[in-house]
Structure 1
Amino acid sequence: MSDRKPYKSDLSDERWALIEPVISAWKADHPSPTGHQGRYEMREIVNAILYQGRTGCQWDYLPHDLPPKSAVYYYFAAWRDDVTDVKINDLLRWQVREKAGRSEDPSLVVIDTQSVHAAVNVPATTTGKDAAKKVAGRKRGVAVDVLGLVIAVTVLAASDHDNAFGTALLGQVAPIDSIKKALVDQGFKKTVVEYGAMVGIDVEIVERNPADKGTGFVPQAKRWIVEQTLGILMLFRRLVRDYESRPKSSESRVRWAMIDVIARRLTGQTTPTWRG
């Protein structure tokens, strides 16, 4: 670890110890042809990714005492493309579940979507308008367990119907044998239920209680947890608006945000709010 003044987003020794084995294994599997070990510590690369996720700064505005854009983006893109970010998220998720006395993978997932505006640099070909929420940009869909931990994530244009997200997310979680049921809201239709039946997952569309109409937001049993997770993601300014050129980068940002959240949960360290 460098002797620079730490940022609030920096990994503590305890949180780095949770992530380091995966990163070190990756580094060992990707040796430089020249034998050079690289100029920057892997911990500092991860610190830079987390800093950008929390602050939302542009690549060129990374602080000078963190590794430069060229190095940080190289690893961010590499770990996105070879799903190293998925491996880290899954490893930490399993540990949280074990700590809670649960099996490694869940039997039930809760699925929902969140529309966010897109920045001006985002290609128009990957954006659209969510007519219901009047949001022009992208929509992220997540499947979480009952602890609010992200099992799967997909990002598409905001104009895409929730059915597209439902089938994509069910396709991602279907290989997990333990998952037998999924809860979705009324935005998802029969298409998702039928696709779930094809992949062996019982999809239940949770109807709102008519008596709740006009009373504002009323949490629904079990389904509220996905709303909480989507709210937690808003602590990460890089996710408040979609800045990524590629939807796959947007998905990776969600995973890195959850890696930060889960690592803090495992070590009993809190996630600072914007005002904190």
Structure 2
Amino acid sequence: MPSLSCDCLAHRFGNAADGPQRVWCYGSDMTDAKWQVVRGGLPVPAWLEGRGGRPESCCHRVMLDAVRYVVDNGVKWANLPADFPPYRRVHAFARRWQITGLLAEFHDRLRDRVREKEGRKTDPTAAIVDSQSLRASANIPRSTSGWDGGKKVGGRKRHLVVDCLGLVMAVAVTAASVQDRDAAVPLLEHLRETYFSVRLVWADGGYAGRLVDCAAEKYRLTLEIVRRSDDMTGFVVLPRRWVVERMLSWLMRSRRLVRGYETLPAMHEAMVLWSMTMLMSGRLAGRRPGAFSLATPRAR
């Protein structure tokens, strides 16, 4: 098996003790092609721009592979294989990136590159919003979990806004008891503050009602409800809504996201972004047979 090579900032300017001596052996490990994609999208640290701080002493490639292993395989942090750095160090790395916004910056850079590769402008003009209820593990506090009466699921609910390619623009994790239209308010507010070009948002019937007027008056967004007709039976691909449904299925490929494992909702949101960075880096590096595609499904 090939050994890893690394040209990260920690090795170029820092004092990385855990070098590229690791052997590439897990399916979640980045290939050299993926690393080159990721390397170009990594945030620039403050110390390199003269804003204080000091060079990191950890190999970025090894750290990212360790986080990807947790997201892809759903293991506990303490169960990381021995060829990765100590799990406390890896968890601190992931937590620091989540708190400081480096993860969101890294994710957004990859998303912009995917949009450019697909012939789209980096600034989307339309979006789709939806939610997904998940069962919660035993460590989830009752204060951040609830019961979704519609889906008959007890646990948490993740609310997402995606663009027309199915790439995540905003994510929020709440108790499963929170109504979709209530959770959508801060999402739409974030959408208006971050993406000035967005004018149209598609949603299902769960977002109908006062939210439509609120989106138009307060956020200057047209919230269009895509409904199932009364004569529809069984599974039907609905216009626009299939995009976000497909994205939700992409997330379920990451075992860390099939259930609510994170004690903090913010960390679950970070896991969604980590999962999307894995998908997008694979897309940019070259799609393997059976990997996800952004193409529109053919009409039957």
Matched-pair contact (CA < 8 Å) for 2:46–2:53: no
Give a deviation string over 1:195-246, Cα, whole Å, max 9, x none: 211111100111112110xx21211111100000001100000000010011
Give a deviation string over 1:103-146, Cα, whole Å, max 9, x none: 11211100000000111011111000101111111000111111
Is 2:121 aligned against 1:65?
A: no
The residue type equivalent to 1:11 in the other structure is: M
The equivalences for 1:1-276 within 5 A come to: 1-23=20-42, 25-26=44-45, 28=47, 37-38=56-57, 40-175=58-193, 176-197=195-216, 198-212=218-232, 215-270=233-288
1:15 Cα deviation (Å)?
A: 1.8
The residue type equivalent to 2:201 in the other structure is: A
CA distance in 1 between counterparts of 2:289 and 2:220 reads: 37
Matched-pair contact (CA < 8 Å) for 1:109–1:183: yes
Matched-pair contact (CA < 8 Å) for 2:156–2:175: yes
Matched-pair contact (CA < 8 Å) for 1:261–1:271: no
Partner SS, residue 158 of structure 2 = strand
Quickly say closer, same or farther: Cα 1:79–1:250, change in 2 above 3 A.
same
Quickly say closer, same or farther: Cα 1:2–1:193, change in 2 above 3 A.
farther
The residue type equivalent to 2:192 in the other structure is: A
Partner SS, residue 122 of structure 1 = coil
Partner SS, residue 210 of structure 2 = helix
1:5 Cα deviation (Å)?
A: 4.0
Matched-pair contact (CA < 8 Å) for 2:226–2:239: no
Quickly say closer, same or farther: Cα 1:226–1:57, change in 2 above 3 A.
same
Give a deviation string over 1:129-169, Cα, whole Å, max 9, x none: 10111111100011111111111111000000001222122
1:171 Cα deviation (Å)?
A: 1.3
Quickly say closer, same or farther: Cα 1:272–1:76, change in 2 above 3 A.
farther
CA distance in 1 between counterparts of 2:89 and 2:132 reads: 31
Matched-pair contact (CA < 8 Å) for 1:108–1:146: yes
1:30 Cα deviation (Å)?
A: 10
Aligned sequence identity (%):
35
CA distance in 2 between counterparts of 1:73 and 1:223 reads: 35
The residue type equivalent to 2:235 in the other structure is: F
Q: Runs (4+) of structure 1 moved beyond 4 Å?
A: 33-37
Quickly say closer, same or farther: Cα 1:24–1:202, change in 2 above 3 A.
closer
Matched-pair contact (CA < 8 Å) for 1:186–1:205: yes
The residue type equivalent to 1:101 in the other structure is: G
Matched-pair contact (CA < 8 Å) for 2:41–2:110: no
Matched-pair contact (CA < 8 Å) for 1:184–1:205: yes
CA distance in 1 between counterparts of 2:46 and 2:289 reads: 28
1:70 Cα deviation (Å)?
A: 1.1
Matched-pair contact (CA < 8 Å) for 2:173–2:265: yes
The residue type equivalent to 1:3 in the other structure is: R
1:102 Cα deviation (Å)?
A: 1.1
TM superposition score normalised by structure 1: 0.91
1:14 Cα deviation (Å)?
A: 2.0
TM superposition score normalised by structure 2: 0.84
Gaps of 5+ in 1: none
Matched-pair contact (CA < 8 Å) for 1:110–1:223: yes
Matched-pair contact (CA < 8 Å) for 1:23–1:42: no
CA distance in 2 between counterparts of 1:271 and 1:187 reads: 36
CA distance in 1 between counterparts of 2:289 and 2:187 reads: 27
CA distance in 2 between counterparts of 1:247 and 1:108 reads: 26
1:96 Cα deviation (Å)?
A: 1.1
